[in-house]
């Protein structure tokens, strides 16, 4: 399998806490993307980090990439109940047109 | 802009029936793709297209056909539905013919049940 694998599968936290999700992969990548999916909806792009980048921020989101360990993490700071969703990492395989998704991390933020 | 529009949202088929899931985008995107999402398995790529007249297979293409006659439309055809094709199907598009250079925009999904 050349897809990313998220960890943990499920995460439950209190509002205001930080949430950290991890993604590991096995192949060389050009970039890695994180997506969010609310229940019953389509996926929404959150952030893209390129292989030559180590960290990227977008609002309350912080993404890191360690290509030597073939892993990435998504940190959501000061979480809100509205952050409750599934989060997926997506990697690009060698042919550059084949984006592979993991099974996702299901985040529950309790008010 | 409507973005990526999928129809129908829900469909029930009997084994052996055929149908077409429609996908249309109004963003003039070159790249379009179809994924299926099954519990615990994430999204798996079925077929994709990098432009009108060009299609290619993804990870799980068997039992599905696609065509891309226009930039806007990318229908997915189930030739002879099987219970294993019960899933949620997502269409996605990107402004670049190389999916990795930009974000994917997803439709809201089509939920298919094959009895």
pLDDT tens figures, B84-105: 999 999 999 998 766 556 789 9
Q: How far apart are CA B35 and CA B39, in angstroms?
A: 13
Q: Does the pLDDT value for residue B10 go beyond 80?
A: yes
Reported as a pLDDT band with limits 50, 70 and 90, residue B15 is very high
Q: What is the pLDDT of residues A39-50, one digit of tens each?
A: 999 999 999 998
Find, in chain A, the residue whose alpha carbon is nearest to that of B42.
A103
Asked if B46 has any chain A CB less than 8 Å from its own CB, the reply is no
Asked if B42 has any chain A CB less than 8 Å from its own CB, the reply is yes
Neighbouring C-alpha atoms within 13 Å toward the C-beta of A82: 2
Q: What is the pLDDT of residues A77-107, one digit of tens each?
A: 999 999 999 999 998 766 666 788 888 999 9
Say whether A45 and B103 touch across the interface (CB within 8 A).
yes
Of B9, B35, B43, B97, which to mutate for an interface test with A (greatest number of A Cβ within 10 Å)?
Answer: B43
Mean pLDDT, residues A25-31: 86
Interface of A with B (CB under 8 A): 3, 30-31, 33, 35, 40-45, 48, 88, 90, 92, 96-104
B90 in Cβ contact with A43 (< 8 Å): yes
């Amino acid at each position: 399998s050349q897809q990313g694998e998220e960890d943990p599968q499920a995460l439950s936290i209190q509002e205001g806490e930080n949430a950290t999700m991890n993604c590991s992969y096995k192949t060389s990548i050009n970039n890695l993307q994180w997506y969010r999916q609310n229940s019953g909806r389509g996926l929404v792009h959150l952030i893209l980090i390129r292989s030559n980048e180590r960290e990227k921020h977008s609002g309350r989101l912080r993404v890191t990439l360690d290509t030597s360990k073939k892993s990435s993490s998504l940190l959501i700071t000061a979480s809100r109940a509205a952050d409750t969703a599934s989060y997926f990492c997506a990697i690009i395989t060698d042919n550059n047109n084949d984006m592979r998704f993991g099974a996702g991390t299901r985040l529950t933020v309790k008010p | 802009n409507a973005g990526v529009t999928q129809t129908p949202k829900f469909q029930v088929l009997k084994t052996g029936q055929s149908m077409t899931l429609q996908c249309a985008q109004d963003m003039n995107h070159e790249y379009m793709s179809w994924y299926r999402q099954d519990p615990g398995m994430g999204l798996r790529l079925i077929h994709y297209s990098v432009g009108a007249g060009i299609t290619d297979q993804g990870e799980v293409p068997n039992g599905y056909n696609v065509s891309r006659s226009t930039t806007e439309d990318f229908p997915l055809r189930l030739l002879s539905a099987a219970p294993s094709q019960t899933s949620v199907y997502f269409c996605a598009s990107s402004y670049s013919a190389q999916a990795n250079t930009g974000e994917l925009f997803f439709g809201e999904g089509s939920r298919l049940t094959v009895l």
